[in-house]
Amino acid sequence: MRRQEGFSLVELMIALVLGLIISGSVIQIMSSSKVTERLNRAVASAQESGRFIMGRLRQDILTAGRYDALDPNLSRIVDIVDEAAFLQNRPVILPNDFASEPGLGSIQGASGTNDTLVVAAQGLRDCRGYKLGYADDEEFFVVNRYFVEGTSLRCVGYDGRVLRGQKGAEGNNGDLAFTILDDVHGFQVMYGISNHDDTVANSARPVRYVTADQLALERTLESAVVAIRIAVLVKGDSPVVIDPIPSFKLLNEPIQTPGDTGFYRQFETTITLRNVKNFLRSKKL
pLDDT of residue 42: 83
The answer to whether 32 touches 38, Cβ cutoff 8 Å, is no
Indicate whether 135 pLDDT > 60.
yes
Distance (Å) of CA 152 to CA 148, 179, 180, 239, 254: 5, 6, 7, 18, 21
HSE toward the beta carbon, residue 166, CA cutoff 13 A? 16
**What one-letter code names the amino acid at 249?**
K
**What one-letter code names the amino acid at 155?**
C
Confidence of residue 249 (pLDDT cuts 50, 70, 90): very high
- Quote the Cα angle for 178-227-97, to 5°: 60
pLDDT of residue 278: 84
For residue 187, the surrounding DSSP H or E stretch is strand 184-194
pLDDT of residue 202: 58
Indicate whether 201 pLDDT > 70.
no
Range with the poorest average pLDDT among 98-102, 135-139, 274-278: 274-278
Phi/psi of residue 228, nearest 5 degrees: -130, 130
Orientation of helix 80-88 relative to helix 274-283, angle to 10°: 110
Range with the poorest average pLDDT among 95-99, 104-108, 133-137, 279-283: 279-283
- Quote the Cα angle for 186-189-192, to 5°: 160
Residues of the chain with pLDDT > 70, as a percent, come to 89
Indicate whether 198 pLDDT > 50.
no
Query: What number is the average pLDDT over the span 86-91?
Result: 95
pTM: 0.85
pLDDT of residue 215: 96
Local structure of 161: helix, strand or coil? helix
End-to-end C-alpha distance for the chain, whole angstroms = 116
**What one-letter code names the amino acid at 203?**
S
pLDDT tens track for 149-167: 999 999 999 999 999 999 9
Query: What number is the average pLDDT over the span 84-110?
Result: 96
Average pLDDT, the chain: 88
Q: 212, 66, 227, 61: which is closest to 146 by C-alpha?
A: 61
